[in-house]
């Protein structure tokens, strides 16, 4: 598969993730409240809801598209492309929630579109690297350093609240874990392509654990700080880690042509900037499953907080 086809699949995955999340949210608010642990009748309600199942299948297909894309193109390209899905959420908010976009948000949309087009123009044949380019020592060292930074920041914030800021700590922690998970997804798919099934399965557990940890860390951040801030930090940081980690540990390189190098760097910068400008839409009320239905834990209800400005 060509890089261009992988980019198309990544964008398709980004759109599907956001459409699926919006539809899941729409279906979930009409279903019984989830509890921890979930009740049998609640699970039955979810898995017998045609609307929720359709949304879930869209998300599942999107995940498949993302994995195929990650197997055929550098993760430093694929992960930043996930920000383009925010365009769909912005359109959803305008068309179905009758919201108006600010000037900054319109700039975010056009910045993402420009980044996508520029990224496509920067593609160069032969730049995809395989397993031989991966440095396990660098990948493990990078993961340890990043996780160590998370624990250090958490310890500092617990000892001296406000020194770093809980939103920065939690958003950063979620971004680190999702970013690390993205790196391992790339390695996992290369191992599967090479026929190393056992190692691929092991790496899938690592990637899944990292991604889920990042997701639940994000949810905790919504309970402790402003969703808009947590989301923005997480959305950008996980992509920065994928870009840097892909080049540092996975042997991913910029195009050899100087003009295309410039286009690639400009494209990545535009994708990150556009993601930051539109990050609020990933937690917009009515457009995201991540805010999700309210959770109940042994009779104590935990409501997802709403921050000012429609975060």
136 and 247: one domain?
Answer: yes
Q: Residue 244: exposed, middle, or buried by beta-carbon count in 10 A (0-12, 13-18, 19+)? A: middle
Q: Does residue 288 carry a pLDDT above 80? A: no
| 245 and 167 together in one domain | yes
Do 122 and 1 share a domain, yes or no? yes
Does one domain contain both 207 and 161?
yes
What confidence tens digit (pLDDT) does each residue in 190-238 have?
Answer: 999 999 999 999 999 999 988 888 877 766 666 666 666 777 788 888 8
pLDDT for residue 10 is more than 80: yes
- Average pLDDT of the residues in 92-118: 82
Q: Are residues 192 and 214 located together in one domain of the fold? A: yes
141 and 277 inside one domain: no
Q: How confident is the model at residue 138 (pLDDT cuts 50, 70, 90)?
A: very high
**Residue 8 neighbours by CB under 8 Å, 6+ apart:** none
Residue with tokens 């690639």: 264
DSSP 280: G
Cβ neighbours around 211 below 10 Å, total: 19
Q: Which of 45-54, 76-85, 90-99 has the lowest mean pLDDT?
A: 90-99
Domain final position from 214, 236, 252:
252
Residues 170 and 215 in one domain: yes
pLDDT above 50: residue 286: no
Residue with tokens 């809980």: 166
The pLDDT, as a whole number, for residue 82 is 86
Residue 288's nearest CA partner among 94, 22, 20 is: 22
12-66 residue pLDDT tens:
998 888 788 777 777 777 777 766 566 788 778 878 888 888 888 998 899 899 9
- Could you give the 3-state DSSP secondary structure of residue 60? helix
Are 52 and 85 members of one domain?
yes
Whether residue 120 sits in one domain with residue 3? yes
Between CA 178 and CA 163 the distance in angstroms is: 24
Closest CA to 94 of 234, 304, 278: 278
In the predicted model, what is the mean pLDDT of residues 121-127? Answer: 79
Say if residues 69 and 128 touch (Cβ distance below 8 Å). no
Q: Is the peptide bond before 37 cis (omega within 30 degrees of 0)?
A: yes
Picking from 164, 166, 185, the residue whose alpha carbon sits closest to that of residue 174 is 166
- Same domain? 176 vs 201: yes
Q: Tell which of 208, 236, 252 closes a domain.
A: 252
Helix (H, G, I), strand (E, B) or coil at 300: strand
143 shares its domain with 62:
no
The residues that bridge with 35 in the sheet, in sequence order, are 296
Mean pLDDT computed over every residue of the chain: 80
pLDDT given at position 303: 36
| pLDDT for 282 | 54
pTM recorded for the entire structure? 0.78
Last residue of a domain, one of 252, 276, 296: 252
Among 85-99, 106-120, 156-170, the range with the most confident prediction by mean pLDDT is 106-120
Enclosing domain of residue 196: 131-252
- The tally of domains found in the chain comes to 2
The per-residue pLDDT for range 226-284, each reduced to its tens digit, is: 666 777 788 888 899 999 999 999 988 888 889 998 999 999 999 988 888 877 665 54
- The DSSP bridge partners found for residue 293 are none
Both 58 and 158 in a single domain?
no
Task: Reply yes or no on whether the pLDDT at 311 is more than 50.
Answer: no
Tokens for 74, please give them.
Answer: 């550098």
Query: Strand 34-35 relative to strand 300-302: parallel, antiparallel, unpaired?
Result: unpaired
């Amino acid at each position: 598969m060509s890089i261009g086809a992988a980019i198309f699949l990544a964008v398709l995955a980004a759109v599907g993730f956001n459409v699926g999340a919006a539809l899941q949210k729409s279906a979930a608010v009409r279903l019984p409240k989830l509890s921890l642990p979930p009740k049998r009748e609640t699970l039955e309600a979810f898995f017998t809801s045609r609307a929720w199942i359709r949304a879930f299948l869209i998300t599942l297909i999107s995940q498949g598209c993302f994995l195929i894309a990650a197997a055929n193109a550098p993760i430093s390209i694929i992960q930043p492309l996930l920000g383009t899905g925010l365009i769909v959420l912005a359109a959803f908010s305008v068309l179905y929630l009758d919201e108006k976009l600010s000037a900054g948000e319109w700039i975010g949309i056009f910045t993402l579109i420009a980044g996508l087009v520029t990224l496509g123009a920067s593609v160069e044949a032969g730049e995809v690297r395989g397993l031989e380019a991966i440095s396990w020592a660098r990948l493990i060292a990078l993961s340890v350093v990043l996780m160590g930074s998370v624990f250090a920041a958490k310890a500092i914030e617990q000892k001296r609240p406000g020194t770093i800021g809980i939103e920065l700590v939690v958003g950063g922690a979620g971004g680190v874990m999702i970013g690390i998970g993205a790196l391992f997804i790339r390695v996992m798919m290369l191992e599967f392509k090479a026929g190393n099934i056992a190692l691929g399965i092991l790496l899938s557990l690592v990637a899944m654990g990292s991604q889920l940890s990042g997701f639940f860390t994000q949810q905790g951040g919504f309970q402790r700080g402003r969703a808009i801030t947590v989301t923005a930090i997480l959305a950008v940081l996980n992509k920065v880690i994928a870009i840097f980690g892909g080049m540092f540990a996975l042997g991913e390189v910029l195009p050899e042509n100087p003009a295309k190098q410039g286009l690639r760097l400009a494209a990545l910068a535009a994708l990150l900037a556009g993601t930051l400008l539109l990050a609020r839409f990933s937690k917009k009320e009515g457009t995201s499953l991540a805010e999700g239905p309210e959770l109940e834990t042994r009779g104590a209800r935990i409501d997802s907080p709403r921050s000012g400005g429609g975060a």
